[in-house]
Chain A
Amino acid sequence: QKEVEQNSGPLSVPEGAIASLNCTYSDRGSQSFFWYRQYSGKSPELIMSIYSNGDKEDGRFTAQLNKASQYVSLLIRDSQPSDSATYLCAVNSRSGGSNYKLTFGKGTLLTVNP
């Protein structure tokens, strides 16, 4: 059973602070890692993807991947109230055949306080 684990939160940070979101996964064969943002009542929206060890930066967002530790994280710098949402960690593992499904964690609820 492939699992993706996240702290459900809520994680509360003040405006302008760095928010740190963490995710661990069980399948060592996992190849691709995604962070989706989901506002209440809305569908998931991709904000970052990462495929190799190290850091990947895009604006205020930095994704970090450590395959040896089976750990992926998302840092949000200069957090804004509009960043308040649930952040979903998703992993894509190809385990034979045409298996390209995403396995999601439960999500971490982030609240940025003005």
Chain B
Amino acid sequence: GAGVSQTPSNKVTEKGKYVELRCDPISGHTALYWYRQSLGQGPEFLIYFQGTGAADDSGLPNDRFFAVRPEGSVSTLKIQRTERGDSAVYLCASSFGIRDTQETQYFGPGTRLLVL
């Protein structure tokens, strides 16, 4: 596709439920990032994939959060036992993956998660 796509655009769930958020990066991009943005805050890094492997998962807040990218393209962010504090916009970004800090990250439209 032309840009990063994310589904669903909105997700409402109940406390304690399990959710999956999907990200489809720009074709040819080997690097993929997940960020979380709370109201009034900048995006906060969660996890970075280079290909199929998680190169840096230092931003995942706890073990309820997990992400996979089994074929090096689409990624799924999984949240178990959701809590109200997990409510935020989850942003996915991708880049070419040339392992350079100058590389531009392109963001998707985000998934707005609301935990009731």
Q: Interface on A for B, CB 8 Å cutoff? A: 4, 8, 31-32, 34, 36, 42-46, 49, 51, 88, 90, 92-94, 97-107
Q: Does B110 contact A (CB under 8 A)?
A: yes
Total interface residues on B, CB under 8 Å, equals: 28
The digit string for B30-64, where 1 denotes a CB below 8 A from any CB of A, is 01010100001111110010100001100100000
Taken together as a complex, chains A and B put the C-alpha atoms of A99 and B99 apart, in Å, by 9
Taken together as a complex, chains A and B put the C-alpha atoms of A45 and B102 apart, in Å, by 16
With contacts A43-B109, A44-B107 taken as known, whether A100 is within 8 angstroms of B42 at the C-beta atoms is no
- The listed residue (B45, B100, B102, B109) touching A101 by CB distance below 8 A is B45
Nearest CB of chain A from residue B61's CB, rounded to whole Å? 15
Total number of residue pairs linking A and B with CB closer than 8 Å? 69
Please name the residue on chain B nearest to A32 by beta carbon: B101
- The listed residue (B41, B44, B100, B110) touching A43 by CB distance below 8 A is B110
Chain B residues near A104 (CB-CB < 8 A): 42-44
- The listed residue (B56, B107, B110) touching A45 by CB distance below 8 A is B107
Q: Does B7 contact A (CB under 8 A)?
A: no
Given contacts A43-B110, A44-B107, 16 further A-B contacts (CB under 8 A): A32-B101, A34-B104, A42-B109, A90-B42, A92-B101, A94-B101, A97-B55, A97-B56, A98-B48, A102-B33, A102-B43, A102-B45, A104-B43, A105-B42, A106-B42, A107-B42
